[in-house]
Structure 1
Amino acid sequence: MPIPAAARALMRATPTVVRLQNRGLIFVSGSQAAEFLNGLISTAVTTQSLGSFYSSFLHAQGRVLHDVFIHATRDAKSQPAYLIEYDATAPADAPALLPMLKRHVLRSKVRLRDASDEYNVWAAWGHDSKVGDSRRWMRAQSGAIEPEWDSSPWGLEGEALVDRRAEGMGTRRLVRTGDRPQEAISHDEGVPDDYLLHRVLRGVPEGVVDIPPMQAFPMESNLDVMGALDFRKGCYVGQELTVRTYHTGVVRKRILPVLLHSPTPTSHGLDNSQSHSRFTSGLSIRASLTHAPGEGRVARPRGTGKLLSTLRGVGLALLRLEHVEGLEKGDLKFDLVDEGAVASNNNASFVTPWWPDWWPKQVEGV
């Protein structure tokens, strides 16, 4: 399923830089900062290779609390320190990140403080950010997929973080509040919706809408493919269920980009602007047969998918892989289910997913 032409037409052609207004920052310092983080996040932290990277905090039962970027920096004494970048718009019923971290400090030589007012997070794309990208793919029998790099893929201390969650994502940079990133000289300045559309078209989930705290499983949310899970590091919170799934479980769902079709599409294949309000996050996606079943009992497709972030007729959706396979074969179709609307064959909206261009096709270790 290549990217549909209607979705490709939405890709921004010019280099763009956007300030991400929904991001919070926590400053972690102290002589045991690396050891402290290493026991909590799903990737390895060492003082030997101080650099920035993508990771996550998991619940003890293996569900995702926050997907995060860890930006390496220095404290006032030039000791290694870290800035945790996370989605600050978490719902009220989700555990707040800073109080949760403070509960884990105990006697560790670690200091924590909110640094959200001190820095702004900027994302830039449309420039060359493929330097040193020598990635290979490894797949487990469970369906988990992980990238493997020859060198540090995310960038080094003091540099912009190369966003390697997917090809073409660009870079992220922390800038002191009131200042502007160096990319502002050569890039067009966009708005947050430009960044949302950018990552949706590349199939990159991010934040509490796409990865709901206490609900989402890491591999179903593509954290493995995006490099946020280390299945070989030592103990961390949520490791047991995650590693067990990797070795003996089955990944049954994935987040994919989708094209959203309204009952009154334009000639370009996308819904018209007046229909955009129809597509809101949280809607169910139901798989149904495209043709009448033959003789004998035919099993009804089990379960439903869920629409996540949406914008301008495209979005991300959590879908069952068996349903995606059925759609690829032409046996199934995906319909949006709005429980509050009156069901009708004339107003039903439908969904077309596609696999991102960067998604691993040929993998090793099967």
Structure 2
Amino acid sequence: MPILARRALGPGLSPFPRPFVCQSCQRSLRWFSVTSGRANTATDATDATDAVTTITTTSAATAIAPPPPSGYALLTSRRLISLAGPDAPRFLHGLITQPVSEEPGSGSARHQHNTPGAPFRASLAAGAPGFYSGFLNATGRVLHDAFVYRDTLGLSRAEEKAFIVEVDAAQVHTLAQHFKRYKLRSKLSFRLKRSIVLPDTRAPGMGYRVISYGGAKGLDLDLEKSDDNAYRVRRYLLGVAEGQAEIPREQALPLEANMDLMGGIDFRKGCYVGQELTIRTRHRGVVRKRILPCLLYPSSPLPPEKLEYRPYIAEGEGQENLSAEDVPPGLSIGRDGAKGRSAGTWLRGVGNIGLALCRLQIMTDVELPGETAAGVPFDPKRDEFVVKWGADEEGSGGQSVKIKAFVPDWMRERLQEK
């Protein structure tokens, strides 16, 4: 139903070969993100310990420069786990929202999935080196957003099937335990593998992702080197959420996190954990809340018309250098100067931009089919929204900033195609 616009390697493994990117791709590259292939083995409960890297947060007093027009960044916020073995395709297929394996022959997907000893073959996005996907819990809530890659370099034994899962660094322990919970007697092992180049198709302009041993040292690119903060700015401007700080674990629905619009869910796929609620939400045809890019601005100016990055929300003589990182996550978004139901939830930001889970009919000009708008239609010149924090028990004191949601062009196009 359409949506209408109202307006590290383990011991004994040799270094990976350098990934190749042709000069034509380099010239057209909008962004290049690199995931280091360091120490992410998970063959027992303690193996993944060394893989976790502390994520440092830039203080509000330090301005983060806008990202360059093109460049690459070593993503210390992401880590890798590999799965290899005869049962790896079947095992992974039953846990994620995209198809990994399929069994030839007739019969239902559920029957085929449970047929013991049947041969499985990889079917990763029609031969692509990998894809974007998600792990859900039994109630259809997102546990992990992830990229899954196929072992195209053959570092495992010939008779084995091997895959690499890229996940939020702070969640690598949790994902390893999730694997162990469902492993049972499956013939597979968890260990780290190699180097891959994969287009990031979640949104136009996200560039490519590279899994590379030794980080960016092996890359021969005529691009400016950047960092995680610049990568975050680019994601926020495009409205792409990533990791559990932005897709709250066991709270967010995959469609609210735009995983359907970013190609992270195959609705024709058979049984997997969390499928029932995901399919029901899809066929019901209405997703009232979605994660959108937002701009924070001071109380005095008129609502901004464009989503543009600045290092601070407010700056200049006599003004506090307030940043989106000073705004606590999880704050309720309300109408400025009016009471009523929450319009959304602030998630996370940097500089003057960030992401929020927004009610579409309240904060945007998007109409939901079959839904009656609550109150008068949204007017961007009239309707303003605010987040407040730090007030005392009587509601006095504290701080507040105004917030405006934007619907990126790519998201509008994909909503209309649904």
TM-score of the alignment, normalized to the shorter chain, above 0.5: yes
Partner of 1:285: 333
Deviations 1:170-200 (CA, angstroms, capped at 9, x unpaired) = 01111113662425x3111111101110100
Partner of 1:63: 141
CA separation of 1:214 and 1:330: change in aligned 2, threshold 3 A? same
Partner of 1:36: 91
Q: How many residues align?
A: 305
Bigger strand fraction: 1
CA distance in 2 between partners of 1:349 and 1:178 (Å): 38
RMSD value, Cα:
3.1
CA separation of 1:217 and 1:339: change in aligned 2, threshold 3 A? farther
Q: After the TM superposition, which of the residue ranges 213-222 and 323-332 deviates more from structure 2?
A: 323-332
Q: What is the 5 A alignment of 1:140-151?
A: none
The unaligned stretches of length 5 or more in structure 1 are: 3-9, 120-157, 291-299
Is the contact between residue 27 and residue 81 of structure 1 (CA under 8 Å) also seen in structure 2?
Answer: yes
Q: Secondary structure at the match of 2:234?
A: helix
Q: Does 1:324 align with 2:402?
A: no
The percent identity for this pair of structures is 36
Q: CA deviation at 1:364?
A: 6.2
Partner of 2:237: 201
Partner of 1:260: 296
User: Which amino acid is the alignment partner of residue 180 of structure 2?
Assistant: K
User: Which amino acid is the alignment partner of residue 18 of structure 1?
Assistant: A
What's the TM-score once normalised by structure 2's chain length? 0.66
Partner of 1:169: 206
CA distance in 2 between partners of 1:249 and 1:363 (Å): 11
Q: Secondary structure at the match of 1:109?
A: coil
Partner of 1:82: 163
Partner of 2:402: 350
Q: Does 1:104 align with 2:182?
A: yes
Q: After the TM superposition, which of the residue ranges 347-356 and 206-215 deviates more from structure 2?
A: 347-356
CA distance in 2 between partners of 1:108 and 1:64 (Å): 24
Partner of 1:275: 322
CA separation of 1:108 and 1:171: change in aligned 2, threshold 3 A? same
Q: Secondary structure at the match of 1:100?
A: helix
Larger Rg: 2
Q: CA deviation at 1:25?
A: 1.2
Q: CA deviation at 1:111?
A: 1.2
Is the contact between residue 327 and residue 333 of structure 1 (CA under 8 Å) also seen in structure 2?
Answer: no
Is the contact between residue 288 and residue 301 of structure 1 (CA under 8 Å) also seen in structure 2?
Answer: no
Q: CA deviation at 1:283?
A: 2.4
Partner of 1:147: none
Q: CA deviation at 1:279?
A: 2.4
CA separation of 1:336 and 1:62: change in aligned 2, threshold 3 A? same
CA distance in 2 between partners of 1:161 and 1:309 (Å): 26
Q: Secondary structure at the match of 1:237?
A: coil
CA separation of 1:365 and 1:337: change in aligned 2, threshold 3 A? same
CA separation of 1:80 and 1:62: change in aligned 2, threshold 3 A? same
The unaligned stretches of length 5 or more in structure 2 are: 8-64, 102-121, 305-309, 365-376
Is the contact between residue 256 and residue 319 of structure 1 (CA under 8 Å) also seen in structure 2?
Answer: yes
Q: Does 1:307 align with 2:343?
A: no
CA distance in 2 between partners of 1:90 and 1:178 (Å): 20
Q: CA deviation at 1:328?
A: 3.7
Deviations 1:79-101 (CA, angstroms, capped at 9, x unpaired) = 4311101002249xxx8110111
CA separation of 1:332 and 1:271: change in aligned 2, threshold 3 A? same
User: Which amino acid is the alignment partner of residue 84 of structure 1?
Assistant: V
User: Which amino acid is the alignment partner of residue 274 of structure 1?
Assistant: N
Is the contact between residue 328 and residue 389 of structure 2 (CA under 8 Å) also seen in structure 1?
Answer: no
User: Which amino acid is the alignment partner of residue 288 of structure 2?
Assistant: R
User: Which amino acid is the alignment partner of residue 98 of structure 2?
Assistant: T
CA distance in 1 between partners of 2:417 and 2:199 (Å): 27
Q: Secondary structure at the match of 1:274?
A: coil
Q: CA deviation at 1:331?
A: 5.3
What's the TM-score once normalised by structure 1's chain length? 0.74
Is the contact between residue 163 and residue 170 of structure 1 (CA under 8 Å) also seen in structure 2?
Answer: yes
Q: CA deviation at 1:361?
A: 3.2
User: Which amino acid is the alignment partner of residue 187 of structure 2?
Assistant: K
Partner of 1:153: none
Q: Secondary structure at the match of 1:352?
A: strand
User: Which amino acid is the alignment partner of residue 88 of structure 2?
Assistant: A
